[in-house]
Amino acid sequence: MPTRTIPRRALVLTVAALAALLPTAALTPPAQAASEPPTASAAAAAPVRFVDLPDTALPTDRAPHRITFSYRNDNPTDQTVAPQILVESPQNGPFLSPSDIRLEQLGRDGRWHALPLGSQTGTLYTSLIPAKIVLHSHHTLTERYRLTVLHSPAQGTVESRIAIYA
């Protein structure tokens, strides 16, 4: 019987999309869930696509490293987007845990704020829901992060991407 490998990125996307929908489903009584069709807002909760931005190797020292990336909305309409950072472990391990790195985001107040990281099959990731914003037509979103490896030796890849919502 042939086996099929599911790319970690696809698995993380699926888990993130299901996590976004889970609170709505968990609060719906079972009888109502079975008799009513899903609402448009529940379907819109998951991203419709991702724009992958350039990735870099995970730093091997314990110094803070800045990550800056930009995304421009060249569409004639506004878009709902969410920036996301993924830290991919090597395919065959060892897998990184959230305690291995510290990820901070530069806030509007000019201070660095620690971001919690989720973990799924060797991938650390930032949450999409709190990061959702409306990016106006022909405007650019620039995000600034600071990543520090806390436990050496750590190996992996730092990937930036933008989730696009319908």
> For position 15, what pLDDT does the model report?
44
User: What pLDDT, on the 0 to 100 scale, is given for residue 8?
Assistant: 52
Report pLDDT for 2: 45
Distance CA 70, CA 5 (A): 31
This model's pTM is above 0.85: no
The candidate with the shortest Cα–Cα distance to 146, out of 132, 126, 162, 163, is: 126
**pLDDT for position 11:** 44
pLDDT of residue 9: 54
pLDDT recorded at residue 92: 82
- Pairing type for strands 79-88 and 133-135 reads antiparallel
Residue 7 has what pLDDT? 53
Q: DSSP secondary structure string, 8-77? A: HHHHHHHHHHHHHHHHHHHTS-HHHHHHSPPPHHHHHTS-SEEEE---EEPPSSSS-EEEEEEEE--SSS
CA 61 to chain centre: 24
Query: Could you say which residues of the chain have pLDDT below 50?
Result: 1-6, 11-40, 42-44
